[in-house]
Chain A
Amino acid sequence: MLNIRLKQWTVLLLIASLVVMLPGCGNTQSKSEEENNLANQKQVEVIKLAGGDWGYPTPYGIYPRGPGSRKMALIFDSLVKTDTDSNLIPKLAIEWQASDDGLVYTLKLRPDVKWNDGEAFTAEDVVFSYNYQKTYPTVSAADFSKIASMEVADPQTVKITITEANAKFLTTLTGFMIIPKHVWETVTDPNNYQDAKAVVGTGPYKLTDYSKELGSYRYVINEYFWGSEPKVKELKFIPVSEEILAFEQGDVDRISITPDVLDRFENNDEYEVMQYVTTWAYRLYFNMNTQPEFANVTFRQALAYAINRQDLVDKIERGAAVPGNPGVLHPTNKLYNKDVEQYPYDTKKAEELLDSIGFKDTDGDKIRENASGEKLSFMLLADEGSARLADLIKQDLSLVGIEINVQTTDTKSRDARFAAGDFEMVINGSGGGEDLSEITNIKKSAKATSTTAQVIGYNNPEVDRLYTAQLNATDPAEQLKLSGELQSIVAQELPKLTLYYTNTIAVHRPKVYDGWSKNTYHDDDRENFVAD
């Protein structure tokens, strides 16, 4: 009996091996325009991208880490958004006006907008979304702390009263996603609401399939969409085990690659490589509370001279990165001040500085001692992803007589110890907005990003003053000047050291689709498919 069953199984599996499928190789798509421009891009039927489960694409269903928020933004709209230069762009709101005292904002809504189930969109939905999301915060909650009230002025107008004048108030609304009142008003547990109606939105696409197990999504054009016709009729996100293999076989149409495989795709007509600068950076933090040496600004400056940031870029990222700016902001930031102290790699200078504060090697073991005769030896905490970086820093610092012991943990443990101040030095890699509030003692009511994780033990009232002043500056020139001053101090005092900003490299087949945005490296961002 057992033998017969086994035979049946074996036969079944043998049959399965015969039913083979050759994934589509060879592209027969028509030649598209030379220009990599969304406006000139012809509409294509379908684009396939690497999937994975990032949650049900509602403001409540997405997972906090990863690309869930962009999967959601294919369906939902905010009132306004910002472009790469931080200028406001209209979305569901088309006009806005602040009162003379700056406390009341009147927003005119886009007329004739419909939800993808055919219902009309009105000011009621906006005010409902605000009240609802105040009670039940979304995964990526907008900052409502400055809003005193929001009310319907007429069906096409919303009036927002804020607690204190803030020239940048509207930019805090970019993450405020508008949800339909007629769907959500009866929902009391939004975190677990995964009905088909939960994905009713006003955005360019609507969801037709989602599989949590398989990690797949399928979107088609929302025929009620208020904006221009999307250039891709159907978006498919499919599970992928090996991205490069999947891309080479045509299973997916675009991937991100690391610099070491760049050679495979460069100088090949079939592929086009696009490189993006990002604000995602590795930064080095010092614990000034537990290690008094770090509280000494000259010591931190010596470290900046001793760590070869260009070398880190060359060795780890093969040149596909931008060396860190001691003034923290990325060189492409519109507030960037290029005249700050740069600390070019200079071991001699570093040694002079260390000598000047009395950190000398007195016992001839090539490691310097501090004033009380203790060795200059520090624990550098890193996660697995930054372990090589930590090793290179260790080498650099050993050349100037500072001993580093690298401790590698998993990401979550590193995060927990970083947050708790349980480290001597730590490397943190993160993206998001650059704000500089982390070096101030101003209580953050706005959303904290990891880039702005609090620097421990640093305190400078002048920094606090300049930070507040530039934040509230209404005149762009004034803001530029104040922020420039702030960056000079930051570069001088180095509360944290930016090691480098990574570049992201993406590769696609221009024959399949060539509308990929130059502004965003996220291949699931709606900017790649819809001209706003």
Chain B
Amino acid sequence: MKHNRIMKLFEYGLTIWIIITLNFLLPRLLPGDPFLLLSSDNAENEEIVMTQEQRDYYESYYGLDKSMGEQYVTYIGQLIHGDLGYSIYYKVPVSQIILGRLGWTAFMVVSALAVSTGIGVLLGSVSAWYREKWPDKLLFFQMILLSEIPVFLIGLMILFVFSAWLRIFPLSGAMTPFEDYTSWWDQLSDILNHAFLPIMVLSISQMGGIYLLVRNSMTTVLQKDYLRTAKAKGLSQKRVIFHHALRNALLPVVTRIFLSLGALVGGAILVENVFAYPGLGRLMRECIQVHDYQVVQGIFLVVTIFVLLANFLADTVYKLLDPRVNDSGKV
């Protein structure tokens, strides 16, 4: 038992080390460097081109003139001290930028997780109950359709309909800029108003997976003897589904929730860019464009840690819920 746990820890450690190393190498393998600017996108964005002396100054300032090996050792050393380094482009500590953005992404991802799980579970249960009848067929078709549309396309359609055409929701951002809120309620409603569409879009893109899982799991459970008994007792349909069946059908869903965090973060990157939502995804796009190695490394690291943490939680929670699973993970 103890041996297994140590092995598991070692596995996580190894994964983190490999990812840190890849994080370090990948951005540096991109052609170009943060200080080389030869062109601009259009006349509105004029560029500032540095002289060789300036580039040399900045390269040594950020330690980029050292060999890859030295840079790697410095990077690992900094990480051990919890220091993610300084952003070349944004000129503030990486941890500060990431913390400023992390909240928005986390808020969006967690909300979308809750909404998609809620709706997915509900519709999946309904579908299983009416299996092969018209409500099931209709739902199944719609859910497959929605989960196949790329998330940015859903985002754009929803943006055009609800923000541009109906003007119910703001076009972009996370808050009304420079608003002097009179109460916390004002502020909260402003934030929710801005977050509503992004969360909806992200939820829609994730709903299909949860729905299918619940539908299948529920179908299996509904054929069990104890449910036939429950039905025979004359319990209401609602009570049979949500009280007796759902509890037993939820086990795979719990794991799925944690494992879908990775996909949600991926979806959030696209959704944030559609809605100009100031989260990690938008930050990631910006800093890849400008080759800010430090921030790219930082974001990848934070996302990695979150996904690993989610996997770990999935393991743990599953064990708690299902005693048949032992430490070695075998049933």
Contact = CB atoms under 8 A, between A and B. Distances in A.
Interface string A180-197: 000000000001101000
Given A64-B48, A430-B40, A137 B54 contact: yes
B173 interface: yes
Given A19-B193, A67-B44, A416-B36, A192 B86 contact: yes
A214 B145 CA distance: 34
Contacts of A124: none
Given A209-B178, A417-B31, A239 B168 contact: no
B45 interface: yes
A238 B159 CA distance: 18
B278 interface: yes
B226 interface: no
Contacts of A428: 38-39
B169 interface: yes
B33 A416 contact: yes
Contacts of A12: 192
A65 B167 contact: no
Interface stretch (B8-16, B114-122, B215-223): B114-122
A13 B276 contact: no
A249 interface: yes
What is the predominant secondary structure among interface residues of chain B facing chain A?
loop
A241 B156 CA distance: 11
Contact of A450 (B35, B38, B195): B38
Chain A CB within 10 Å, residue with most, of B104, B196, B291: B196
A411 B39 contact: yes
A187 to B, nearest CB: 13
A21 interface: yes
Contacts of A23: 167, 170-171
A9 B114 contact: yes
Interface in A1-23: 2-3, 5-7, 9-10, 12-13, 15-17, 19-23
A249 B167 contact: yes
A64 B114 contact: no
B214 interface: no
B156 to A, nearest CB: 9
Contacts of B299: none
A412 interface: yes
A6 B192 CA distance: 17
Contacts of A246: 171-172
B89 interface: yes
B91 A56 contact: yes
Interface string B220-260: 00000000000000000000001000000010000000000
B92 interface: yes
B64 to A, nearest CB: 14
Contacts of B163: 245
B221 to A, nearest CB: 16
B177 to A, nearest CB: 4
B290 interface: yes
A209 B179 CA distance: 11
Interface in A25-69: 25, 51, 53, 55-56, 60-61, 63-67, 69
A324 B36 CA distance: 26
A413 B196 contact: no
Nearest to B45: A66
A417 to B, nearest CB: 7
Given A21-B193, A65-B45, A414 B39 contact: yes
Given A239-B278, A521-B43, A17 B172 contact: no
Given A240-B171, A429-B40, A450 B33 contact: no
B134 interface: no
Interface of A: 2-3, 5-7, 9-10, 12-13, 15-17, 19-23, 25, 51, 53, 55-56, 60-61, 63-67, 69, 137, 139-141, 191-192, 194, 209, 211-216, 218, 236, 238-242, 245-246, 249, 251, 256, 278, 280, 383, 385, 409, 411-419, 428-432, 444, 447-450, 453, 502, 504, 521-522
21 contacts: A2-B250, A13-B111, A13-B115, A16-B192, A22-B167, A67-B44, A192-B86, A192-B92, A213-B101, A218-B178, A245-B163, A411-B289, A412-B30, A413-B32, A415-B36, A415-B37, A419-B36, A429-B40, A429-B41, A447-B51, A504-B43
A-B pairs, top 6 by smallest CB distance, nearest first, are A16-B192, A241-B172, A412-B32, A280-B43, A416-B32, A6-B118
Given A53-B90, A67-B44, A431-B43, 12 more contacts: A9-B114, A63-B290, A65-B40, A65-B48, A66-B45, A69-B48, A212-B97, A241-B274, A246-B171, A428-B39, A450-B39, A450-B49
Interface of B: 30-33, 35-51, 53-54, 57, 61, 86, 89-92, 97, 100-101, 104, 111, 114-115, 117-118, 121, 159, 163-164, 167-178, 189-190, 192-193, 195-196, 199, 242, 250, 274-276, 278, 286, 289-291
